[in-house]
């Protein structure tokens, strides 16, 4: 397995990448309505008095230090959501104890990646014969300063195993412990393309909606189409 010290180092660069989120999860206005941590804490306490669902909407705030939150950017809530709504089952570069913001270099790559994971998830649901899923496409701008590069690592390395994430999760844990803000790596589901795993949202300068996409499930995802522009 590739070690942290064997990865390349990325210099400062403003990069653009893409992400899909289920459209049933709206952006959390609370993050986008404030300019700094002090304003957020005051507004959160006020809204918590009248909105019993606020905790579920915002997620587990204790999972991310206030200094990591890029208050004031467009789409702040999109940048924060993966770090306060963490999948306990984990992901490629997380064992489930921390969140990761996954992005793809192109929207086409994002669609291939999400299609694969949707197929995996819904194939385990008994009796689901037909369903329509709508996703919101997001365009994310971020800086690559101090991030690591695994795009030169051969696809035969265990971090790219299509099913066993244990090696990649150990690498992700090492990145997180070292305070590394993110990793560029090759897409496993769309060969020849690359993706990003951001370990913190602080590198993000904006996340804006781009378009909506529809996936049709009929025993598997049988079609993917764009249904609206931003």
Domain ranges of the chain: 4-229
pLDDT value of position 133: 95
Dihedral Cα 14, 20, 25, 30, nearest 10 deg: 0
Q: Which residue has the higher pLDDT, 69 or 55?
A: 69
- Taking residues 212-224, report their average pLDDT: 95
Helix, strand, coil proportions of the chain in percent (round to 5)?
30, 30, 40
- Taking residues 137-153, report their average pLDDT: 96
pTM metric for this prediction: 0.92
Q: Does pLDDT of 26 surpass 80?
A: no
Confidence of residue 33 (pLDDT cuts 50, 70, 90): confident
Q: Does pLDDT of 186 surpass 80?
A: yes
Confidence of residue 3 (pLDDT cuts 50, 70, 90): confident
- Taking residues 116-130, report their average pLDDT: 92
- Taking residues 139-163, report their average pLDDT: 96
pLDDT value of position 215: 97
Give the closest residue to 213 by CA, choosing from 19, 4, 74: 19
Q: Does pLDDT of 43 surpass 90?
A: no
The bridge status of strand 14-22 relative to strand 131-143 is antiparallel
Confidence of residue 34 (pLDDT cuts 50, 70, 90): confident
Dihedral Cα 18, 221, 96, 209, nearest 10 deg: 30
pLDDT value of position 92: 98
Mean pLDDT for the chain overall: 92
The CA distances from residue 20 to 38, 47, 94, 136, in Å, are: 30, 28, 19, 6
Cα gap 50→163, rounded to integer Å: 44
pLDDT value of position 141: 98
pLDDT value of position 127: 87
Q: Does pLDDT of 54 surpass 70?
A: no
pLDDT value of position 230: 64
Percent of the chain with pLDDT over 90: 77
Read off the pLDDT of residues 160-171 as tens digits, 9 standing for 90 and up: 999 999 999 999
């Amino acid at each position: 397995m590739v070690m942290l010290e064997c990865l390349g180092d990325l210099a400062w660069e403003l990069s653009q990448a893409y992400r899909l989120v289920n459209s049933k999860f709206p952006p959390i206005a609370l993050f986008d309505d404030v300019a700094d941590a002090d304003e957020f804490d005051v507004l959160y306490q006020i809204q918590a008095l009248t909105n019993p669902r606020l905790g579920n909407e915002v997620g587990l705030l204790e999972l991310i230090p206030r200094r990591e939150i890029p208050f004031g950017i467009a789409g702040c809530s999109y940048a924060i959501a993966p770090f306060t709504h963490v999948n306990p089952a984990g992901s490629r570069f997380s064992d489930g104890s921390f969140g990761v913001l996954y992005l793809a270099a192109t929207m086409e790559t994002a669609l291939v990646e999400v299609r694969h994971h949707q197929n995996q998830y819904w194939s385990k649901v008994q009796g689901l014969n037909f369903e329509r899923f709508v996703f919101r496409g997001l365009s994310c701008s971020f800086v690559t300063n101090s991030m690591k590069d695994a795009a030169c690592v051969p696809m035969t390395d265990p971090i790219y195993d299509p099913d066993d994430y244990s090696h990649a999760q150990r690498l992700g844990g090492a990145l997180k412990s070292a305070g590394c803000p993110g990793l560029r790596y090759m897409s496993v589901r769309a060969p020849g393309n690359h993706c990003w795993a951001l370990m913190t949202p602080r590198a993000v300068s904006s996340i804006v909606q781009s378009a909506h996409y529809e996936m049709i499930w009929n025993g598997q995802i049988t079609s993917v189409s764009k249904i609206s522009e931003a």
